[in-house]
Amino acid sequence: MADLKGKVAIVTGGARDIGRESSLKLAKCGAKVCLNYFDNPDDAVVTLKMIKDLGGEAITVQGDMTKVEDVQNVVDKCREAFGEKIDILVNIAGGLVARKTMDEMDGEFWDFLMTLNMKTVFMVSKAVLPYMQSGASIINFASQAARDGGGPGALAYATSKGAVLTFTRGLSKEVGPKNIRVNAISPGMINTTFHNTFTKDEVRTKVAAGTPLRREGEAHEVADLVAYLASDESSFITGASMEINGGLYFI
């Protein structure tokens, strides 16, 4: 298990699914976790209890990561609770919202998806970086959709996640001389609320059957990768996109 004792982590979208498992894993590894949630306080309460039951330290902070004042509040609350140093940032907040083809979407929908999935990563990273020191790690969440264009109606989502990959590479070059690493994780078909909401059962079954490992991934498996990228064990990895899709898509 990665050693994150003495580290402080912020996880946006940290209350459920991959966010919950990532928050739990970081806490298990010894990190103090500030988990952000948006619209479901019940999930945040459950996740916080799970961390505390493990003997971990954590706080929850509600906030809409598309709003700069909410972003700053998350950072401020984390500093108040755990001190001025932030070692780990995991940018998970985002989503598909709805499946819309080019004909169905308008500019407002397009702009919202770009803000939700890309501008949030920029805003949170910008707010956190002044408190990061040598050895810190930023982990952004892209998607397999960034590589293959996504499924039907996922054009805007896939484009925004492709931008996350490019942002990750560019930022890694800027902050690398400070020994701050920036990487992305690109999940494939993971068993989460995302696919429960937006992907038909027959599609999930077909995709899983076409995966070399013949199954969907689980959120805790993605969280294991988060912990690795947050730790010194990945100290020479930066600007990378780590694909976690069971072999469904290779780069």
What is the bridge-based pairing of β-strands 241-244 and 137-141? unpaired
Backbone φ and ψ for 20, nearest 5 degrees, come out as: -65, -50
Task: Return the bridge partners of 90, or none.
Answer: 11, 139
157 tagged catalytic: yes
What is the bridge-based pairing of β-strands 32-37 and 8-12? parallel
Contact 8, 58 (CB under 8 A): no
| Residue 116 neighbours by CB under 8 Å, 6+ apart | 66, 93, 94, 95, 97, 160
Distance in angstroms (rounded) separating the CA atoms of residues 5 and 27: 9
Answer positive or negative: Cα dihedral of 228, 97, 33, 181: positive
* DSSP-assigned letter for residue 178: G
Catalytic, out of 37, 157, 228, 249 = 157
Distance in angstroms (rounded) separating the CA atoms of residues 89 and 71: 12
What is the set of active-site residues? 157
